Amino acid sequence: MYYVKIQSIYHKIHKRLKNDKFRKGPSTTRNVIKLLETMNFDKSIIYDANYFYNKIIEESN
């Protein structure tokens, strides 16, 4: 179940980045964390957003 949640977060952020709603840069990480908070996920997952952000940016390049 934990894996499914992570995948869900990953795909939602990836989709947002593809739609250019988020820009690369320091504020993007804050935007991703805000996005995760609006999804009502556990705090432990929300504040690990840097991991997802970095993975997504790697794939986007």
pTM reported for the whole predicted model = 0.31
CA distance 4 to 15: 16
What gap in Å lies between CA 18 and CA 56, rounded to an integer? 10
Can you tell me which residue has the tokens 């705090």? 43
Segments making up each domain of the chain, as ranges: 2-60
* The pLDDT of residue 1: 46
pLDDT tens-digit series, residues 5-61: 666 776 777 666 666 555 555 566 666 667 666 666 555 655 566 676 676 667 666
Question: Which residues, including other chains, have CB under 8 Å from residue 19's CB and lie 6 or more apart?
Answer: none
Please name the residues in contact with 59: beta carbons below 8 A apart, sequence gap of 6 or more: 14
Distances in Å between the alpha carbon of 31 and those of 12, 38, 49?
A: 13, 11, 10
